Amino acid sequence: MATAKRDYYEVLGLSRTATVDEVKKAFRQKARQFHPDVNKEPEAEAQFKEISEAYEVLIDEDKRSAYDRFGHAAVSGNGAGGQGFDPFQGFGSFSDIFETFFTAAASGGGATGTRPRRAQRGAHLAYRLTIEFEEAIFGAEKEIEVPRLAVCPKCEGSGAEPGTETTVCPNCSGRGEVRRTQQSIFGQFVSVVPCERCHGEGKIVATPCTECKGEGRVKETRKLAVKIPAGVDDGAQIRLTGEGEAGPRGAPAGDLYIELNVKASKLFKREGNDLLYELNVNMAQAALGAEIQVPTVDGATTPVKVAAGTQSGKIVRVKGAGVPFLRGTGRGDMLTKVSVQIPTSLTEEQKRLLRELGQTFGDNTPEVPEKGLFGKLKDALGG
């Protein structure tokens, strides 16, 4: 079900530097062309959804910058388990788009739709996947098992027992909506509401499928392969379009959001694309300088030079030994932080050598400033 998604800029025919006004203008033009209320071509609805989705991301500063950096994988809609963007839900008809949506831009979409809700899509699912520290850095392919509602194999989602047919809803003549005329003190007004008999689907299952009882979907546990891109961080989300729950009676499926939980490493701490490694050296190494083999996240070692006279806290950078950049090429660095260890237990021999060494450093007593006025006053008063 997961198909390759087109680039959002390409969908709206925009350059990557397009301004907010250009994004709005491009969407308005495309919406006029493809809104299913004016365009009766069968692909129009899918195209309209595609441009609406592109618009939703590019008009939002945060989502756009996330998309620019990480691509579709990182634009997580409204978050795991949340209600995904459905262009038909908040503002339904063609005129709603231009009246409600553009005048009250970013108001969150006042639901004034006169169009009945279309057949309800399947729910989005969230899955928390724990991976090793190294898998987040170098990428991995994981297999997960997701319990979900899937298209019923017996009726292929129609909800009708094979061999029988669905019938056109007699209540709404297959339109899925009914007009209701009401009287008010302002006169007569007509509202359009979803048909109660067929729940807006326009058709009725006369002989329900015995497998799914007419729902068109059944429970299953599905094995899925998930590709983890190299360089992801803890909390990153991967969206698998159409891998959520199947919709009832053939309605579109929801999406599956995989939230990554990255295990900590014993050796490294991650700071964006850099890795922090704490290198313990002894007093002699810090004072005289040393070259030390340090472990890298690749499972190898690399020599790190500690210069003579290095103080605790000094950072030695190992270029390119960090985390790969999610987009583009190259890697961050490994930051080796030197920590000078003061011995806590010494042999008699070490003590003797250190005492001897200490004497060569001379008297290190801090200078005491002359007594100030307060001190003199205290002396005069006798304590």
Helices (H), the chain: 8-12, 20-34, 44-58, 61-70, 87-90, 94-96, 102-103, 133-138, 283-288, 348-360, 373-380
| C-beta closer to Zn ion: residue 71 or 208 | 208
First to last CA, the chain: 89
Binding part of the chain for Zn ion, among 36-44, 172-180, 263-271, 328-336 by CB under 5 A, reads 172-180
Q: What's the CA gap between 375 and 369, in Å, rounded?
A: 11
Only one of the segments 9-17, 149-157, 255-263, 301-309 lies at the binding site for Zn ion (rule: CB under 5 A); that segment is 149-157
Paired strand residues for 274:
271
| Binding range to Zn ion, per CB under 5 A, among 34-42, 69-77, 192-200, 295-303 | 192-200
Shortest Å distance, C-beta 120 to Zn ion:
15
Can you tell me the distance from the alpha carbon of 383 to that of 375, in angstroms, rounded to the nearest whole number? 9
CB of 84 to Zn ion, least distance (A): 25
Question: Of the listed pieces 21-29, 37-45, 108-116, 155-163, which binds Zn ion according to CB under 5 A?
Answer: 155-163
Which position among 12, 169, 226, 279 is part of the footprint of Zn ion (CB under 5 A)? 169
Among the listed residues 198, 205, 316, 326, the single contact to Zn ion using CB under 5 A: 198
List Cβ<8 Å contacts ≥24 apart for 89-98. 89/113, 89/117, 93/37, 94/35, 94/37, 94/38, 97/31, 97/35, 98/28
State the number of binding residues for Zn ion (CB under 5 A). 12
Find, among 160, 131, 338, 310, the residue nearest to 233 by Cα: 131
**Does position 152 bind Zn ion by CB under 5 A?**
yes
> How near is the Cβ of 165 to Zn ion at its closest, in Å?
14
User: How far is the C-alpha of 250 from the C-alpha of 150, rounded, in Å?
Assistant: 10
Which of 75, 146, 209, 316 is close enough to bind Zn ion by CB under 5 A?
A: 209
171 binds Zn ion per the rule CB under 5 A: yes
Shortest spacing between CB 219 and Zn ion, in angstroms: 12
Instruction: Name the residue nearer to Zn ion (CB basis): 75 or 149.
Output: 149
Q: Angle, to 10 degrees, between the axis of helix 44-58 and the axis of helix 20-34?
A: 170
- Taking the complex as a whole, how short is the minimal distance between the CB of residue 166 and Zn ion, in angstroms? 12
Q: How far apart are CA 233 and CA 273, in angstroms?
A: 9
Query: How do 290-295 and 274-282 pair as beta strands?
Result: unpaired
Q: Is 150 in the site for Zn ion (CB under 5 A)?
A: no
**Contact region with Zn ion (CB under 5 A), list: 2-10, 103-111, 163-171, 239-247:** 163-171
Minimum CB distance to Zn ion smaller for 194 or for 289: 194
For binding to Zn ion (CB under 5 A), which residues are involved? 152, 154-155, 169, 171-172, 195, 197-198, 209, 211-212
